[in-house]
Structure 1
Amino acid sequence: MEDHLQKFMFSTAPVRGEIVSLHNTWREVLTRRQYPAPVRDILGEMMAACALLSANLKFDGTLIMQIFGDGPVKMLVVQCSSSLAMRATAKFSAELEAEAAKGTQIPFADLLNASGHGRCVITLDPQDRRPGHEPYQGIVPLNGEAGPLQSMAEVLEHYMRHSEQLETRLWLAANTERAVGMLLQKLPGDGGIVPHAGEHDADTWERVCVLGSTLSQEELLKEDPQTLFKRLFWQENVQHFAPAQAHFACSCSREKVGSMLKMLGREEVDSVIDEHGHIEIHCEYCNQRFEFDPVDVVQLFSANDVTVGVTPAASQRH
C-alpha cells in the first residue's frame, strides 16, 4: 500500500482539499516505539494532519506540530518536511499504559486537557532561515468557545480558524495499520481560480463540508483515497494535482549527538562517564541508540571523528 497525498481544487469556488493515506510511514513509527492504543491513535491522527498541513507550505522547510498535555499524555510531536519526510514521538504516564492495557476508554480531553491547560503549538521553520530570525510559531489552547475540544480534528480546526484565519475542516483516523485524513479549506478571495458569484462560493463550501461530514472513521480506515474521493465528490467539478509521496525519515546522527555533548562541556561529560562508565542516548523518534565510552569521549574532544559506537534502531526496543 503506497503512502501518498492527493491535492485537489474545486473549480467553481475557492475551496481546496487533500486526502492522505500513510501506511509504511506510520508503520515505521510504530515498529520503533510501543504506544498504548489511545496514544497511538491520536499520534497517528496528528501524522495525517501534519502531512495535510505541510503540503501547503510555500517554502522548503519543516512543519512541527506539538501538543503539550496536562493529563496522562504529556507531549505529542510530529515533524514533516515540505518533501513529506516525517517522524513522530510521544510521552505519557505509566498509569496511562496500565489503564490502556485494561482496555479502558479515555476521552480525548481527559488524555490531553484534564485541567484545561493543554495547548497546541505549530512551528514553521524554513530551511533557509537566516541566523537570528526565529521560526514562525502559533499557539492555541485545547479549549474552544464551548469548552474543551474533543478530538484532534477539532483542535486543528480551532488552530486554523484562530491562528491562520482560514475556515478548515478535517477528518482524521488511525489504527495499527494506517493513519489517514482529509482536509477541506476555504481560501480567501478567489483562490486563483475562475471568477464566480459569492453566493456560489458559499454554497460550494457548505455542500462539500456536508459531504465530508458523512465520512466515518471506519470508512476512512477501510477505503482507499480514490474510492473515498469518488464516493464523496463524484458530482463536483474538481481539478486534481500530481500526488506526493510521504516517507519516514529521522535527522538524528552520531555527529549531532557528539555536537550536543561538546556543548555540555568536557567537565559535565566526564562526570557522567565517571558515574556510569559510558554515555548512552536514545533518539526519541527512531529509537536509535548512540553510545560513547571513555575512549570515544577523548576522541570527541580532540578530533572530529564521531562515527563509531552507534547501534541501529532495528536492534533496539523501548
Structure 2
Amino acid sequence: MSAAGFERGETRLPDWDPSADDQIQPFVLEQSGVRGRLIRLGPALDTILTRPGYPGPVARLLGELLALCGVLGSSLKYDGVFTLQIKGDGAIRTMVADLTHEGELRGYAGFDAAALAAAGGEAGGEVGREAAQDDGTIERWLGNGHMAFTVDQGVYSERYQGLVELTGPRLADSLLHYFRQSQQLNAGILVACERRGSGWRGGALLIERIPGEGGRGGEGTGAVAGEFGGDIAEEDWRRALILMASCTDAELADPAISPERLLFRLFHEEGIRVFEPQPVAVGCRCTRERVERILRSIPREQIDEMKVEGEVVMTCEFCSRDFRFDDPALDRLYGGGREDAG
C-alpha cells in the first residue's frame, strides 16, 4: 500500500487534489501508533438521500448513518457486507446502511410522516436549520431504540452481530457507548451531514486505540503492531482526541478541503502518514431474480390482491427501483397456475 508522510512540525500544506469526494482515507499517527480513517461523501451521498425525496431530518440522520457505516465497515477485514441498522419508536422508525467489501454503499429510512410533522419536520421536504440540528436529535426523531452492527460473510460463515441502546444526542454517541461496553477498543468518532448548494454532503472521522499497538509506525498500519509493540500511552491518546475535537462539522463535509488537507491540519504535529484511499460508490444488490423469489413465497391469491391497474409493482427500499409483474409474468412465475405457492 502506498503512503505519504508529513514530518513532525511541518507547516506547509501538501499539494493535494481538492476534489476527493466519495472515498475513505486511512492514516496513522506515527508518534503514537493511533490509527484512523476519514470518509468524505459527496455525490454518492446526495444520490442516496435525494432519490427517495426524504424530508430534512430523515435525510440528515440517514446521511450520518451512511458515513458511520463507511468509516467503520472499511476498517474491518472481511469479504461480505457490513450493516448498521437502527430501530426506534419515534417518527423515524428504521434506518439501514450497508457497505460491501468492494466499497458499494447504500441505505434507506422508514418513517411515520404524521409523527414527523408533529415533531417539527415537514413530511414532504426540508425542515428549518434549527429543527434539523437541535441538540435532542436522537430523542426527537428516533425516540427509544437500538443500533445493530452486522458482519455477513455469506452462507458458509457465521454472522457476527452486536447490539447497543441508542444513547446521547448524536448517532456517534451510541457507537462510542458500544465500544466502551465491549472493552476491546477505545475510539473517537465525529460525524456530520449537511445540505449545501451542490447537494447533500457528509463525513466521519474515526481514530482507534487498540491494545497492544503503539510506538512509531512504519510504512503500514500493520507495522505498528508487528514492530513496535506496547500499548499507546494514555497521554498520546488524550492528545489525539483533543486534536480530533478541533474538527468542525463544516470541515468534515467541506468540498474545498480535501481529506488529506483536513488530516494535515488536525494532526501534522503528530507525524501523520496517509495511505491509499479507498473509493466508495452507490451500489444496490436488488435484482429481479431476488424479487421473484420473494413473490414465490407468497400465495398467488394474495399477490393478485396487490395488483394496481393490472400490475404488481415491487419497489426496492434502497434504490427506489420498480419491478413490475403483469399477468403473463405472474403466470410464468407461478407455473401458469393460481394455486397457493406457500
TM bucket, shorter chain = 0.7 to 0.9
Query: Residue 39 of structure 2 aligns to which amino acid in structure 1?
Result: V
In structure 1, which of residues 100, 103, 106 is the aligned counterpart of residue 121 of structure 2? 100
In structure 2, which of residues 208, 211, 225 is the aligned counterpart of residue 192 of structure 1? 225
In the alignment, what sits opposite 1:284?
Answer: 317
SS in 1 for 2:269: coil
In the alignment, what sits opposite 1:312?
Answer: none
Q: CA deviation at 1:193?
A: 4.8
In structure 2, which of residues 139, 156, 177 is the aligned counterpart of residue 110 of structure 1? 139
> Could you tell me how far apart the structure 1 residues matched to 2:182 and 2:326 are?
47
In structure 2, which of residues 146, 162, 166 is the aligned counterpart of residue 138 of structure 1? 162
Q: CA deviation at 1:113?
A: 4.8
Is the aligned partner of 1:181 residue 2:181?
no
Number of residue pairs aligned between Structure 1 and Structure 2 = 291
Note the 1:137-176 alignment, pairs <5 A.
Answer: 137-143=161-167, 149-163=168-182, 165-176=184-195
Query: Which 5+ residue runs of structure 2 have no aligned equivalent?
Result: 1-18, 214-223, 337-342
In structure 1, which of residues 261, 268, 281 is the aligned counterpart of residue 295 of structure 2? 261
Q: CA deviation at 1:214?
A: 1.0
> Could you tell me how far apart the structure 2 residues matched to 1:205 and 1:55 are?
22
In the alignment, what sits opposite 2:49?
Answer: 30
Deviations 1:262-315 (A, max 9, x none): 111334324444x86321111111011111111110011239xxxxxxxxxxxx
Q: CA deviation at 1:156?
A: 1.2
In the alignment, what sits opposite 2:106?
Answer: 87
> Could you tell me how far apart the structure 2 residues matched to 1:189 and 1:196 are?
6
| More deviation, 49-58/7-16 | 7-16
Is the 2:78–2:153 contact (alpha carbons within 8 Å) kept by the matching residues of 1? yes
In the alignment, what sits opposite 2:251?
Answer: 219
| More deviation, 62-71/26-35 | 26-35
In structure 2, which of residues 49, 54, 65 is the aligned counterpart of residue 46 of structure 1? 65
TM-score by length of 2: 0.79
Is the 2:91–2:142 contact (alpha carbons within 8 Å) kept by the matching residues of 1? no
Is the 1:169–1:209 contact (alpha carbons within 8 Å) kept by the matching residues of 2? yes
In the alignment, what sits opposite 1:124?
Answer: 151
> Could you tell me how far apart the structure 1 residues matched to 2:252 and 2:305 are?
52
> Could you tell me how far apart the structure 1 residues matched to 2:229 and 2:150 are?
34
Is the 2:79–2:153 contact (alpha carbons within 8 Å) kept by the matching residues of 1? yes
Q: 1:270 to 1:178 in 2, by over 3 A?
A: same
> Could you tell me how far apart the structure 2 residues matched to 1:164 and 1:299 are?
54
> Could you tell me how far apart the structure 2 residues matched to 1:289 and 1:97 are?
27
Q: 1:14 to 1:235 in 2, by over 3 A?
A: closer
Q: CA deviation at 1:245?
A: 0.1
SS in 2 for 1:235: helix
Of all paired residues, the percent bearing the same amino acid is 31
Q: 1:296 to 1:288 in 2, by over 3 A?
A: same
> Could you tell me how far apart the structure 2 residues matched to 1:291 and 1:90 are?
23
In structure 2, which of residues 89, 96, 99 is the aligned counterpart of residue 77 of structure 1? 96
Q: 1:224 to 1:240 in 2, by over 3 A?
A: closer
SS in 1 for 2:205: strand
Query: Residue 110 of structure 1 aligns to which amino acid in structure 2?
Result: E
In the alignment, what sits opposite 1:210?
Answer: 242
Query: Residue 302 of structure 1 aligns to which amino acid in structure 2?
Result: G
The two structures, once aligned, show a CA RMSD in angstroms of 2.2
Q: CA deviation at 1:13?
A: 3.0
Query: Which 5+ residue runs of structure 1 have no aligned equivalent?
Result: 144-148, 304-318
SS in 1 for 2:286: coil
TM-score by length of 1: 0.84
> Could you tell me how far apart the structure 1 residues matched to 2:265 and 2:98 are?
31
Deviations 1:129-174 (A, max 9, x none): 41xx65111111113xxxxx11011111112222462111111111
> Could you tell me how far apart the structure 2 residues matched to 1:13 and 1:235 are?
11
Q: CA deviation at 1:111?
A: 3.0
> Could you tell me how far apart the structure 2 residues matched to 1:41 and 1:271 are?
36
Is the 1:26–1:178 contact (alpha carbons within 8 Å) kept by the matching residues of 2? yes
Query: Residue 100 of structure 1 aligns to which amino acid in structure 2?
Result: G
Query: Residue 59 of structure 1 aligns to which amino acid in structure 2?
Result: Y
